[in-house]
Amino acid sequence: MSDAMSEKQKVALTALKRKADSDLNELQARKTRVRTRKSSALRVPMAYANGAIRITRTPGRKYAKNCVNLQDVIHKDQLESACIYSFFIAEEELYEYLPFSHSSGGVPIYIGRDPNFDVPTVQMASTLAGIKLQEKVSRKQLDSIRPALQQLHRQKHGQNLQTFYAWGPGSCHSKILLLVYPGFLRIVITSCNMMTIDTELGDNQWYIHDIPKRSSVATQSPAGFEADLLSHMEALGTPEAFLNSIRGAYDYSTVKVHLITSVPGACSGAKAEKHGLLRLRRIVKEMDLRLPEKTKKLQLEVCTASVGNLNAKWLHGFFDCALGKDALGTYDGIREVPKLKLFYPTMQDVKNADEAARDAASNIGCHTRPWGTAPREVKSIFHHYESKDRGKLFHQKLILAYNHLDSTQSPYYVYVGSANFSQSAWGALEHDKRGNESTSDKKLIKLANFECGVLVPGHLVEGLLEDGTESWQEGIVPHIQTTLPYDIPKDKAWNDYRWTKDYRE
């Protein structure tokens, strides 16, 4: 009897086990379906599949069209890898958006910057290495402390962090985010340093483009925008592991804008047309806009956070390149300046700004000084800066070429990026004794900075704005374009005392 009962129990237990296993399998399947639905719901969409040009969503633009912040472009839970390069990085303000991990196997994060603005960690690494730093970190010193810098940053932030540094005689000034999501690469080229005063509180521009992943990696060498971008990232010192992970993996066919970069050094011939002023000229010339024939209706405007030591010769060289002229002059000994407007705040404009903007105004400055003895012709191009979000200041670098007689017409082109209005950023033109027809017998000198920006052909601009944006002016120009020129000699260009410590004004 007991043996019979035992056998029945075995059968019953087997049936119960099958039922439990079936229930467990169904529960796991339901969880998988839920996870799949959740993952699908969280999957970052290609929000900028055809490219976009935006301005920073400052507090007064909370509900405005065509604005973004970092939280709109970085989705850390969905990142597969990320590479961010910026002249300056406020770690406590950027790193909250990134998935750092102190355990192995985390999402690869690559962070690059100018070593002179990684101050506390560079000082600590130098102390550990027994190196005494000068005012600017030398290339040899940087090479010596790189391993210590890497280790210090990993100990503090995460084992998935890899740091890298560009080095140049000027500023390593580019500002680029390359964000890898499932199915696409998001490219962000901006005027923002990675700090809240730029990404949330100041007037800035952002070019954003989502590039779809190819079904298989391309075997041919990168060309066009992709080649230019990879070349600049390599020049900045981006680790090969990241560059190899994206090279040939994405389809750039929807990118219609042009990359304009600068790298330190003097260059001539074909190389000179890859950077700075001569790159700008080549692109505008190839667009066949015929701007030199439209000077009566053409308005060229520049808004910049840093102004170089301007003179009439350099301004004419910039103007000629911005118009894509066939023949480039030398302008030796010239005094008059070309017809352009430069937006930059006076001392009083900064005093009129709100407290946060005033606190951050040390980030902008004017090297055309001493102001009192600067040529009147040069000072005549300066116009007051007034944000459409009242009380705000800026870090933007914007070049606009448009028809000032017809406000409904799209601009001829727009430049946004990192390059300020200076020889260090754009270079200067000099006669090339060896001759070069394509550059009008000019070579490029005095380039000291790394810079990166995009030139957007005017016919593309409307399509790069958010639906419902009132106009291209409202969408991409955060300041008032009708402000008055400086009252000379009453008005003085803004400078923080740290910019003028070697001058008496």
Instruction: Could you list the beta-strand ranges (E) of 124-228.
Output: 161-165, 175-181, 184-190, 205-212
Element of type H or E holding 226: helix 224-235
Six token digits for residue 377 = 């012709």
Distance CA(333)–CA(339), nearest Å, equals: 18
From the number of C-beta atoms within 10 Å of its C-beta (0-12, 13-18, 19+), residue 473 rates as middle
Distance CA(370)–CA(381), nearest Å, equals: 17
Q: Which amino acid appears at position 63 of this protein? A: Y
Indicate the length of the chain as a whole number. Answer: 505
Count other C-beta atoms under 10 Å from residue 415's C-beta.
24
464: CB partners within 8 A, 6+ apart: 50, 51, 52, 53, 456
84: CB partners within 8 A, 6+ apart: 94, 110, 111, 112, 176, 177, 178, 194
Q: How many CA atoms lie within 13 A of 213 on its CB side?
A: 13
Element of type H or E holding 242: helix 240-246
Percentages helix, strand, coil for the chain, rounded to the nearest 5? 35, 20, 40
Alpha helices, H only, 365-487: 376-379, 423-426, 458-461, 472-476
Please calculate the CA angle 177-480-296 and round it to the nearest 5 degrees: 100
Distance CA(369)–CA(366), nearest Å, equals: 7
256 annotated as ligand-binding = no
From the number of C-beta atoms within 10 Å of its C-beta (0-12, 13-18, 19+), residue 21 rates as exposed
Identified catalytic residue from 102, 153, 157, 173? 173
Six token digits for residue 431 = 């006669």
CA-wise closest residue to 331 among 303, 345, 346, 312:
312
From the number of C-beta atoms within 10 Å of its C-beta (0-12, 13-18, 19+), residue 445 rates as middle
Distance CA(425)–CA(172), nearest Å, equals: 10
Known catalytic membership, residue 173: yes
Q: Which amino acid appears at position 366 of this protein? A: C
Which of 328-346 are b and which e, b meaning 16 or more Cβ less than 10 Å from the residue's Cβ?
beebeeeeebbebbbbbbb
Distance CA(345)–CA(353), nearest Å, equals: 10
Annotated binding site: 175
Which residues are part of a known binding site for substrate? 175
Active site (catalytic) residues: 173
